[in-house]
Chains A and B, each alone.
Chain A
Amino acid sequence: MKPWKLIGWRTLGALLTLVGIDRGLYHFGNHGKWVVQERHPHLGWHMLPNQNGWSRYYDVRERTNTLGYRGQGWPSTPADVRSAYADDAPPVAPVEGDARGDDILCVAVVGNSMTYGSSVAENEIWTARLEVLLREELALRGDPRRVHVLNFAVQGYVFDQMARTFDQRIAPFLPDILIVPTTTYDLAPMAAPAPTFDYPLRRWVVRTAISDFALRRVQGRWMPGPSAPSFDPEVPDIEGNRRRWASADADQREVAWRLFALDRGASPAALAAVEPELRLAYFERASETAFERLWARAKGAERSALLTLLPPALFERVRQTLQHELTAQPFQPSNRWMWDRAASTLDGLRQRLEAHGGQLVLIALPTLSRLSRPDQPSTSAYWAPWARSDGPRAFEFDPAAQLRARMPELASFLRDPAIFDRGPRGELSIPRAAPEIETSLFFANDTGHYNARGHAALAEAVSARIVSAGLLVNER
């Protein structure tokens, strides 16, 4: 018998089974329908490119382009962005000089799910609408430039990741305007970048319904997590510490050493004599203990500095605590250092933009609670003075008034604390009986995100502000 006949039936059986299981999970279990993110050593995570999936509630299609962002028809991708797409690529250096043609007005937008447009069709996202509005405006003015509004938002991103996105992906596009929509959520430090995680055909495998089913339904549910060895820092274990020390990377070693020196309040010179043993003994758990003591004592900017020394094991816990503090009391003086830290990040962004004459625009994205309670402080309270102090190349804009005007009845209704309540999982919710609920700019079941009306209103407000600020004047 011919070899291909012998293997053919087996191959056919195997392929049909694989396809059958995958399609079965897709159609009957709703698995593998979402667009997929993957870990990234610099950005924490990013979207896989060239995907076509469903949004979170399976209501609209979501596509990613060749760079892994929402939006099609982008200008030709600079070569250094394509090379930066490799997992281990270093940040892209800003291109010197004006490499882009004069016939394009390039607006880059960073952000998280509110700008990504969760559950909103691609052409209804505020960045897509903004592109249309700006194009119309330029046409009215007889300006021949084409407009590209490039949406670099990724779900879950904070300031740190937005700044890294600029370095990694946006800089080579030389944007005329960089829009940074802000909420208090963005101020917390980003989740620790995951180590490179790779296996053959990874990108192909993670898109399958079987992979989705395995990740969401099986792993961590039917099999326990790996058992971590416990460690008592009080028990001297020089040899064990030496081994761990040897396996640690340079950054970890530096962190442990600085934590120890800080905790003991001793100068490095005084500790040099006993350095080998003490450094080893204070590694890992001991450095965590040192960090916790230091964190409790630290105030304001000291915490900001201390964040760079956060041991990996504590990172997520501290990050979540900070996120919680920001959500609960963003304007508390004790949290001021996080704003200053974000401002420092934005300073860096502004300087890099200025290198080619770009303009930074900050938008204080209004949340539902802010729209329904005008007396509630806006992030503008911090960002407006910062932008003013930073010269003409940056300005801040709070569209809350314009958006509130789109849902006056509903906003007024939700102002009542008895009605404006928290949902079963702690999120804000809009009662079904609310008046003029159809005017809502937010999803009723997901009040953390704008619906299509919200995106349209935001686009109009932003467009109007850009026009009034004179940012469309062709300076080339």
Chain B
Amino acid sequence: MAFNSFEYALFLWAAFVLFWTLQRRKSLRHSMLLVASYWFYAQADWRFVALLALSSVVDYAAGLGVQRARDEGAPKRARGWLALSLVANLGLLGWFKYFGFFAAEFGALFGRLGFNVSGPALDIALPVGISFYTFQTLSYTLDIHAGRMRPIKSLLDFSLYVSFFPQLVAGPIVRARDFLPQLVVPPTLTSAQISSGLFQILRGLAKKLLIADLLGVHLVDGAFANAEAMGERGALGVLIATYGYALQLYGDFAGYSDIAIGSARLLGFELPKNFDAPFKSRSLEDFWSRWHISMSSWFMDYVYIQMGGSRGSWWKSSRNVLVAWGLVGLWHGAAWTFVLWGVYHGAWLVIVRLVRKLIPGGGFPDRLPFNLLGGLFTFHVVAFSMVLFRCPDMETFWTACRQLADWSKPLPTLPWQVWTLLAVGYGTHLWPGDLAGQLERRFVATPAFAQGVFLAASIVFFFLVTPPGTAPFIYFQF
């Protein structure tokens, strides 16, 4: 059930009414939400509901086990429980997401060495959202082990944390210590909260349906279809397609996150911000503190810092950056293009740090020309990496790289609608100040009935201008 479907609108409305009807009955309220979340997940593939439940039970038990061992002063036993959680979660992820990839790669490697190790090919279906909820549950046991939080006693509440439907399929990756306290406090509902939630949902739908889907259909899909399509575009054509894809990916994923945050807010929960105008970034570090914030901060806290972070020599911290970013790439998908994409970002971060180290004063001055140049540089580094992310294979990617050197071909003829989408998309994104915040405040101040009118009129408008059917969210595949 996609967020951009009528089905979801009805589902959310029903969940809202039921949830607040049970406002004073905690167990029933949470049970209802858990059933709704499992039902939501079963819409994608009912077979994997058991997997979700298994992951919840294992980490619930591991959390209690770690805490008991810590309380009894038995660090080895605590590490044992933590290892159980790590093995269970990474094992699930490894089996469903990476087994086929590594089996094929090892087969090819041994084949080159003269050994025939080809076994039966396994076609393993990837459970929706597994990368997200396994990381959530991992953060829970890791935090307990590190003494940053205590385990929750209610299995119902923990299962709800793992399966909470707004963030189940594609994040944001919510930390247990951010979410679980919200289950303890009795929820309250205000008119402003509903208005703000609805605005977030509308904002997400606009990003997804008006920007991402239309750019995908009318510009990006054709350009990135294959090597021969890419081979005709020339440098300007590749650049326009790349700018289009950068905006599409942002609209798609940030749109999803906005709808998730808005849906959760309607149910009285606050999810962390996942995007913060990333194309306004002045540096790569700045970008990764604005793009898929919940994922990058997860890797920062649980991988990079655990490896030593920036402590130690420059070489050591650079190694840490490269390893962490290689893993970020692998998290996105079981393919060398994703690993290369992660290492590419890691390498740029290392280079930027090196340049900063060499510049007297530790960096460029905070002045407009430098900021503009930094922003342009960052955007192009990121956008170029998205080419790698989008290309169906390495051949298409190399063709795109070759075309970037070919400035002889004219700008491709594109319909005015595509130019308008690009202008509106980047214009609203780069608008100085907090445009979305201003609009949200105005929306919240509008009478409730008028909000309903605006909501319905917007939905009709989205329906009119977008192609029939429901385009899936790009990040569902991760």
Residues in A lying within 8 Å of B, measured CB to CB: 1, 3-4, 6-7, 9-18, 21, 197-201, 205, 210-211, 213-215, 218-219, 222-224, 226-232, 235, 237, 239-240, 243-244
Contacts and interface: CB of A to CB of B under 8 A. Distances in A.
Given A7-B16, A17-B452, A239 B214 contact: no
Contact of A17 (B190, B219, B457): B457
19 contacts: A4-B17, A6-B191, A6-B194, A10-B451, A13-B452, A13-B455, A17-B452, A197-B468, A200-B1, A201-B6, A210-B463, A214-B463, A215-B468, A223-B214, A227-B219, A227-B223, A237-B226, A240-B395, A243-B393
A11 B14 CA distance: 12
B229 A230 contact: yes
Contacts of B363: none
B218 A226 contact: yes
Interface of A is mostly: helix
Given A10-B451, A13-B448, A18 B17 contact: no
Contacts of B395: 239-240
Give the most central of B189, B214, B219, B448: most A CB within 10 Å: B448
Contacts of A198: 469
Contact of B191 (A1, A11, A16, A211): A1
Nearest to B2: A200
Contacts of A213: 464
Contacts of A17: 452-453, 455-457, 460
Contacts, number: 141
A227 B219 CA distance: 7
A218 B465 contact: yes
Contact of A226 (B5, B222, B417, B449): B222
A232 B227 CA distance: 11
B428 interface: no
A230 B228 contact: yes
A215 B468 CA distance: 9
B87 interface: no
Given A1-B191, A199-B5, A200-B5, A10 B468 contact: no
Interface string B215-233: 0011101110111110010
Given A13-B448, A240-B228, 20 more contacts: A3-B17, A6-B194, A10-B448, A10-B449, A10-B452, A10-B455, A13-B456, A14-B455, A17-B457, A21-B460, A199-B468, A200-B1, A201-B6, A213-B464, A215-B468, A219-B467, A223-B417, A226-B222, A237-B227, A240-B395
A11 B469 CA distance: 24
Contacts of A10: 194, 198, 448-449, 451-452, 455
B228 A229 contact: yes
Contacts of B13: 7, 11
B21 interface: yes
A9 B190 CA distance: 14
Contact of B221 (A21, A214, A226): A226
B415 A224 contact: yes
Contact of B460 (A12, A18, A226): A18
Contacts of B285: none
A223 B393 CA distance: 30
A16 B454 CA distance: 11
Interface residues of B, number: 53
A231 B450 CA distance: 51
A96 B211 CA distance: 56
A56 to B, nearest CB: 22
B45 interface: no
A243 B222 contact: no
Interface in B415-437: 415, 417-418
Nearest to A211: B463
Nearest to B6: A201
A430 to B, nearest CB: 39
Contacts of A239: 227, 393, 395
B182 interface: no
A3 B6 CA distance: 22
B310 interface: no
A240 B460 contact: no
Contacts of B31: none
A299 B112 CA distance: 53
B308 to A, nearest CB: 42
Contacts of B23: 3
Contacts of A218: 464-465
Nearest to A239: B395
Nearest to B21: A3
Interface string B138-179: 000000000000000000000000000000000000000000
B453 A13 contact: yes
A153 to B, nearest CB: 27
B56 to A, nearest CB: 28
Interface in B194-219: 194, 198, 214, 217-219
